[in-house]
Structure 1
Amino acid sequence: MIAKILNWMPIVVIVILFNACISGDETTESVVEQPKNPGYLRLPLSDSIETFDPSLIYTDAQIELVEQLFLGLTDFDPHTYTIIPELAIDWQVSQDGLVYIYQLRQDVQWTQGKPVTAHDIVWAIRRNITNSPYAFTLYPLKNAQAISQHEITSLSSLGVRAIDDYTIEFTLEQAAGYFPALTSLWTYAPLPRTVIEQYGDKWINLSNLQTNGSYQLTLFQPDSLLILKKNPNYYEVDKVQIAEVHYHILPESSLAFAMYKANKLDIIGGQAYLSMSQSVMTSVKYNKNLRAEQYSVPNFCTEWYGFNVQRPPMDNLLVRKAIIAAIDKRNLMDVVLEAKHLPAMTFTQPYGVEPVEKTGIVFDPIHARNWLAKAGYPQGKNFPPLFLVHNKSKKHAATAKAIKKMLKHHLNIDVEVRSLELERYIKILTADTPHIFRMNWCAMPDADHWLYEVFHPDKGINWIAWDNREFAKLVTKARQISDLTGRAELYQRAEKILTETEAVIVPLYFETTPFLVKSWVQNWNDKPFGGQHIRNWSLE
């Protein structure tokens, strides 16, 4: 569910192209000598800001701003990606997993000084279930889907209530061990009811806006500049080291890159801070000063190939294993894509499920040939026609071409590669899934949003037409329990079935995103979803 709202659509995820193959001499071009920083942080934004309403935001730029302006119930630790308290200080779950009770901080205020209470959350959730395009993120709550679809009209029947000013209770339709991760989303965040009721849609105007986060908006020039200043009412205001943040709305990465080199921006890269184009990456590659300021960080996207396991010869386990073992992922990264992505052995990223040692099938041409021979195709003889299909992209084409060569070289099998426009590609996946197809999946680190949502045979997307009841049982049980260790063990077993025992997909690589960060920005780290924790950063 969460993956759907992060505007990271699995098929059309836009990724950075690293495969620059332009030759050239290394330069020592230095950035313009100016004062290191003017005492405030300068960041680019990739989109114009149409709203600050947490229930309506959808672009990376809007998500970035809402993170600075509003508090959620929970959040993700930017280093470990475990769930941590934010507005909530603690929570308990009933033995049957159906009821969660959150205790809230009592020192959080709206910028006008009024306390933030559980009643603000209840009102916000009731508003969102009927008004937000992301109402589906609330569907785990009792009666939420029925209310959203107008089958029930009483908002009081929604599974949320304030026990007192600082205690809120959620009642779920069914047990959901991932629920604390879900409450990090803005659809569960409190809203300033009195202001919204007074001003309606104009509550987001600068003169009316009431927020409760570490920063508050002080200047808004549409399509140009936003200035945030430290919120004096923030409960940990003394820990916020950067007093002011300037966001520059810029139309393209080349302009952001020029400003960065001129010391007019402190960071570029990622989803919100203008992803770096191929030409920018090439400039960085041949400039040692810029390379010293370059970082590559995980972005919680997995590039993978799927097998249609109902279509011969992909219905043969030994054939699938042979193909996986014949793909040299490290060579694909270093030579073909020239990227700093991380070769993947599993589908779920390590932050979602720490894999059991040696999970997955490694590159091993000898084993690959043996498996293919046992499948009835020694040295590739009499192997039937095989089709590999991807949506159009230079990077996807380069990947498919490289894998085609690997399979011919190691297994002596021929693969016909087809590149389709996106609309047609989507239709093919839903109507006539090919032998092998290209896919990308991005989501929060909780494994439920990876294994259950994608591969559950009945409830998941399941492009691979796979029906494994043991896998289904494991991921269903894992989503229903709240014990973190127990969930992890179940997901580890499910991951092993997916990528090794049944070998129904080829995890190619975990994507990384490039950044350029000035040396004077301290304690910086990228949080690939949900906006950055600027409150934890500092300037030298």
Structure 2
Amino acid sequence: MRHLMASAALAALVAGTAAAETPKDQLIVAFNMNNVLTMDPAAITGGEAVQILNNVYDALLQFDDEGRNLEPRLAEAWEIAPDNMSVTFHLRPDMEFASGNPVTAEDVAWSFKRTLTLNLAQASGLKSRGYSAENADEMFVAADPQTFVLNLPEPGDPKMILMYLTQAGIGSILDSKLVMEHDDGGDMGQGWLTNNSAGSGAFSLQQWRSNEYVLMTRNDEFWGEAPAMKRVLMRHLPESQSQRLGLEQGDLDVGLSLAASDLKALEADDDITVKTETSAGFYYLAASAADEKYANPKVREALRYLIDYKGINAAIMPYFGVERQRVVNSKAFGALSDPGYALDVDKAKALLAEAGYPDGFDTSIRVISTQEFLDSATAIQGTLAQAGINAEIITGDGGQIYGAMRAREFELLVGRGGGGQQPHPDSNLRALVYNPDNAQEAGLTNYQGWRTSFFDPELNGLIEEALVEPDQAKQTEMYETIQQMIDEKVIPIQPFSERVVTAAFQDNVQGLMVDPWTTRFEGVTKGE
């Protein structure tokens, strides 16, 4: 009977509520889960899966509400060794997983080792930092049941690793005993974890149906303050208008993936709050330095003055981005304020004349067909034309457009990316500027510096030196110097907007964090 009642309640929640108001202790969230393919933390990809698993699994540390500073989570304290080659974590006492099993340092070490052993999607980040299945036993050490030691396999900045390990997926700590009870032929529970959870978070995974819904229920064993919500239902509603209608009718509490037109309409609704938060990466104009024209720094500098930063951000980017001209996200330590570039056609023309192009030239801009990208490219096409640069717009899907960039077969491109999931300058600089080997056969497609054929040994060296600098004040100064050098060297990627994420929710919903990389529902409450 209890199972039948629970099923009936779930059916009512999925279908929507007749009373045009969701229950006070249940949160109904709409989002697009097309990219959610598994619930196994070692195998997830994309921010949508992170939004789910942030609530089911704990990490050692978390970010504060502003997404800038590290705070305790499973670890109540931690110390970085003087040589920056290890971090010692002290776990909170008497914590339990949802199963009732104790949370121990062995579980922490096992979780990281499992990710590397299975070598699924989430292993790539650890491997890029020198970790491997072969060195895992010495890198991840349970000194005693409450003490975990993280060793660094190569010199680096422990702060960067700590920030990275806050993220659901790579940072998720699993109940090793429960998972191994479901080991099937040495898969370390991978098959079982596709549809089940083994975490210590505020909620447990009750049910997941691909491209339908995710149902989470309150974890009564949670070590922290009990969440106000007994259930969280995350519904797959990829159509923005469906999310808007659900919010207007009171069937939804939160909409996480709405189009700009629907967000604008909801802002006029007194019962709905629309909230925007800074996220990771940038919208940018990229040029290929392999092209003869854009190999000239004067031409690249001219491009800086042929972007209407204020116009694009005012007319096109609301809900998607805010003006930003640096390649370091505003939340990162050491981030400088913008250099103040503005649309200046006369200055651009003078630079083009110095470069040998007094009458401009013909070129092309590649861009995906999504509205904010295409509108931005069209605006840039218009301002380029004022200086005599005639740009043909070439559209396509992500595979076609970014595929051309990865193949280094483009002239100009309007895109989005650039790291920044961690508020550390290295995250952006390594994604957008760093390029250790510019040879075509190197194939370093993860580096957008390589994609744009930009190679500067001086900047490469400074980026490496700054990462391993142990003195925080000196490190910050080094990152400031690098940003100033980027201005002088005129790299081929010019951001015009820093990415933001926007959600709409009922006015009585409080405590919601919007950024998918930090979203947790444990602090959400509903007022009258």
Cα distance in 2 for residues equivalent to 1:314 and 1:227: 51
CA 1:503–1:363 in 2, change beyond 3 Å: closer, same or farther? farther
CA 1:486–1:86 in 2, change beyond 3 Å: closer, same or farther? farther
Structure 2 match to 1:215? 203
Structure 2 match to 1:446? 424
Structure 1 match to 2:484? 496
Checking the alignment, whether the CA contact within 8 Å between 1:359 and 1:500 is kept in structure 2 is no
Between the two proteins, what is the percent identity of the paired residues? 17
1:479, CA displacement in angstroms?
1.9
Alignment of 1:382-401 (within 5 A): 383-401=360-378
Checking the alignment, whether the CA contact within 8 Å between 1:390 and 1:437 is kept in structure 2 is yes
Structure 1 match to 2:3? none
Cα distance in 2 for residues equivalent to 1:505 and 1:166: 46
Checking the alignment, whether the CA contact within 8 Å between 2:253 and 2:506 is kept in structure 1 is yes
1:213, CA displacement in angstroms?
1.1
Q: TM-score, normalised by structure 1?
A: 0.80
**Cα deviation digits, residues 463-495 of structure 1 (max 9, x gap):** 221222231122112222354443333222222
Structure 2 match to 1:334? 314
1:437 and 2:446 aligned: no
1:189 and 2:187 aligned: no
Structure 1 match to 2:156? 176
Cα distance in 1 for residues equivalent to 2:37 and 2:452: 38
List gaps (5 residues or longer) in structure 2: 1-16, 184-188, 438-446
Cα distance in 2 for residues equivalent to 1:140 and 1:314: 31
Structure 2 match to 1:42? 28
Structure 1 match to 2:297? 317
CA 1:399–1:453 in 2, change beyond 3 Å: closer, same or farther? closer
Structure 2 match to 1:6? none
1:337, CA displacement in angstroms?
5.7
**Cα deviation digits, residues 432-453 of structure 1 (max 9, x gap):** 4433222210530322221113
CA 1:163–1:437 in 2, change beyond 3 Å: closer, same or farther? same
Amino acid at match of 1:84: E
Structure 2 match to 1:234? 222
Amino acid at match of 1:349: N
Q: Which residue, 504, 516, 528 being the options, matches 1:516? A: 504
What secondary structure does 1:368 align onto?
Answer: helix
Alignment of 1:76-475 (within 5 A): 76-133=63-120, 134-139=122-127, 144-145=131-132, 147=133, 152=134, 156=137, 158-177=138-157, 178-185=160-167, 186-200=169-183, 201=189, 203-204=192-193, 209-218=197-206, 224-238=212-226, 240-250=227-237, 252-269=239-256, 275-277=257-259, 280-281=262-263, 283-284=265-266, 287-289=268-270, 293-335=273-315, 341-359=321-339, 361-377=341-357, 380-381=358-359, 383-409=360-386, 411-420=387-396, 422-441=398-417, 443=419, 444=421, 445-458=423-436, 460-462=447-449, 463-475=451-463
1:520, CA displacement in angstroms?
0.5
Checking the alignment, whether the CA contact within 8 Å between 1:195 and 1:203 is kept in structure 2 is no
CA 1:92–1:46 in 2, change beyond 3 Å: closer, same or farther? same
1:116, CA displacement in angstroms?
0.5
CA 1:417–1:58 in 2, change beyond 3 Å: closer, same or farther? closer
CA 1:60–1:432 in 2, change beyond 3 Å: closer, same or farther? closer
Checking the alignment, whether the CA contact within 8 Å between 2:433 and 2:491 is kept in structure 1 is no
**Cα deviation digits, residues 138-191 of structure 1 (max 9, x gap):** 22666x33x3xxxx5x863x4111111111122222122111112223334332
Amino acid at match of 1:328: D
CA 1:363–1:521 in 2, change beyond 3 Å: closer, same or farther? same
Amino acid at match of 1:428: A
Amino acid at match of 1:398: D
**Cα deviation digits, residues 238-281 of structure 1 (max 9, x gap):** 5x333432333445433333222211111102xxxxx1136634
What secondary structure does 1:69 align onto?
Answer: coil
What secondary structure does 1:450 align onto?
Answer: helix
What secondary structure does 1:245 align onto?
Answer: strand
Amino acid at match of 1:176: G
Whose relative contact order is higher, 1 or 2, with alpha carbons under 8 Å and at least 6 apart?
1
Cα distance in 2 for residues equivalent to 1:412 and 1:141: 45
Cα distance in 2 for residues equivalent to 1:425 and 1:222: 28
1:431, CA displacement in angstroms?
4.1
Checking the alignment, whether the CA contact within 8 Å between 2:263 and 2:504 is kept in structure 1 is no
Cα distance in 1 for residues equivalent to 2:320 and 2:406: 32
CA 1:315–1:117 in 2, change beyond 3 Å: closer, same or farther? same
Structure 2 match to 1:272? none
Structure 1 match to 2:474? 486
**Cα deviation digits, residues 295-348 of structure 1 (max 9, x gap):** 232232301112222432222222222221122111123345666621221122
CA 1:289–1:106 in 2, change beyond 3 Å: closer, same or farther? same
CA 1:248–1:315 in 2, change beyond 3 Å: closer, same or farther? closer
1:455, CA displacement in angstroms?
1.8
CA 1:342–1:179 in 2, change beyond 3 Å: closer, same or farther? same
What secondary structure does 2:181 align onto?
Answer: helix
Amino acid at match of 1:397: L
Amino acid at match of 2:417: W
CA 1:482–1:522 in 2, change beyond 3 Å: closer, same or farther? farther
CA 1:35–1:276 in 2, change beyond 3 Å: closer, same or farther? closer
Checking the alignment, whether the CA contact within 8 Å between 2:326 and 2:339 is kept in structure 1 is yes
CA 1:209–1:268 in 2, change beyond 3 Å: closer, same or farther? closer
Amino acid at match of 2:331: Y
Cα distance in 2 for residues equivalent to 1:421 and 1:237: 45
Structure 2 match to 1:54? 41
Structure 2 match to 1:74? 61
Moved more, 70-79 or 393-402: 393-402
CA 1:331–1:349 in 2, change beyond 3 Å: closer, same or farther? same
What secondary structure does 1:75 align onto?
Answer: strand
What secondary structure does 2:182 align onto?
Answer: helix
Checking the alignment, whether the CA contact within 8 Å between 1:325 and 1:365 is kept in structure 2 is yes
Checking the alignment, whether the CA contact within 8 Å between 2:80 and 2:87 is kept in structure 1 is yes
Cα distance in 1 for residues equivalent to 2:194 and 2:384: 58
What secondary structure does 2:29 align onto?
Answer: strand
CA 1:167–1:255 in 2, change beyond 3 Å: closer, same or farther? same
Cα distance in 2 for residues equivalent to 1:431 and 1:47: 29
1:106, CA displacement in angstroms?
1.6
Checking the alignment, whether the CA contact within 8 Å between 1:336 and 1:402 is kept in structure 2 is no
Amino acid at match of 1:267: V
- Aligned-CA RMSD value: 3.1
Checking the alignment, whether the CA contact within 8 Å between 1:390 and 1:438 is kept in structure 2 is yes
1:233, CA displacement in angstroms?
2.2
CA 1:205–1:521 in 2, change beyond 3 Å: closer, same or farther? same
Structure 2 match to 1:23? none
**Cα deviation digits, residues 180-230 of structure 1 (max 9, x gap):** 112223334332222222222465498x85421112345566765544333
